[in-house]
Structure 1
Amino acid sequence: MLQIIEISGDNIIATRASGDLSEMDIEKVHPIIHAILDKGLNVRWYFEMENFTGWDFPGLWEDLKMDTAHAKDYEKIAMVGDKKWQDWITKFMKPFTNAEVKYFDLEEKEIAKKWIKQ
């Protein structure tokens, strides 16, 4: 499940992922991304993972398509989690985007929120 959470900023998307993400979860974010891009801004994404287990196959495919289509539109991505594989995903993402991508442990989420706003 992907929940939209509140963090102030004209170009910030903030989400909390738990369980498996589906195609419908990923599609929730598309209008938010386009609203930011329509303002002429680049996207900053705060992505918090709590009890996150990954993607179902259609969700993974939709996420990959979205990331590829918008690779140049991201400015910063804060990945916040508590599992080693989540840190690994963050490192894996870096070559595929122009964004500054940084991993934070779950207990550092307030630091991550400050970083995404800077």
Structure 2
Amino acid sequence: MSYTIIQKTGTHVWIKISNLFTVQDLLGLQGSLEADLQRSSHIRILIELENFEGWSHDSGWESTSFLPESDNKTSRIALVGDEKWKDEFFMFIGYPLTPIDVAYFPTTQLREAAVWLSKN
């Protein structure tokens, strides 16, 4: 498993993704967030990349998306990591085509990302 849910507090979730992210990781992460999405009117997600190596090349990616299509409760996603992953992560979450407010922060700006995530 290449992700860890660091913290869940009401409408905020902090996820750390490391190493190679697989389809099974994505499905597990979605399952972990399902109850939070059901309970909350909106949710904000902080994704921290640490020693991230990208996405696996196994099959199954073509039938997945970062968030379920039925999820209209995610209002913001802050991505924190090496700048080289910015464009690929934006594509992965469907930005700018998604209505979710998304921002990318360099590794040194974790605190700034958390502040941005909490703003209205």
Normalization by structure 1: what TM-score? 0.79
| Percentage identity across paired residues of the two chains | 24
State whether structure 2 residue 120 is matched by structure 1 residue 101: no
State whether structure 2 residue 69 is matched by structure 1 residue 69: yes
Distance of aligned partners of 1:70 and 1:56 in 2 relative to their CA distance in 1, 3 Å threshold: farther
1: distance between equivalents of 2:11 and 2:62?
22
State the Cα distance separating 1:26 from its structure 2 match: 1.4
Could you say what secondary structure the match of 2:41 adopts? coil
Structure 2: stretches of 5+ with no match in the other structure: none
1: distance between equivalents of 2:17 and 2:113?
15
2: distance between equivalents of 1:81 and 1:60?
25
Task: Judge conservation of contact 2:17–2:49 (CA < 8 Å) in 1.
Answer: yes
| Equivalenced residues, count | 116
RMSD of equivalent CA atoms = 2.5
Task: Judge conservation of contact 1:26–1:62 (CA < 8 Å) in 2.
Answer: no
State the AA in 1 paired with 2:86.
D
Partner of 1:34: 34
Partner of 1:45: 45
State the Cα distance separating 1:33 from its structure 2 match: 2.6
Could you say what secondary structure the match of 2:53 adopts? strand
State whether structure 2 residue 80 is matched by structure 1 residue 80: yes
Could you say what secondary structure the match of 1:107 adopts? helix
Distance of aligned partners of 1:62 and 1:46 in 2 relative to their CA distance in 1, 3 Å threshold: farther
State the AA in 2 paired with 1:4.
I
Partner of 1:14: 14
State the Cα distance separating 1:114 from its structure 2 match: 1.9
State the Cα distance separating 1:34 from its structure 2 match: 1.8
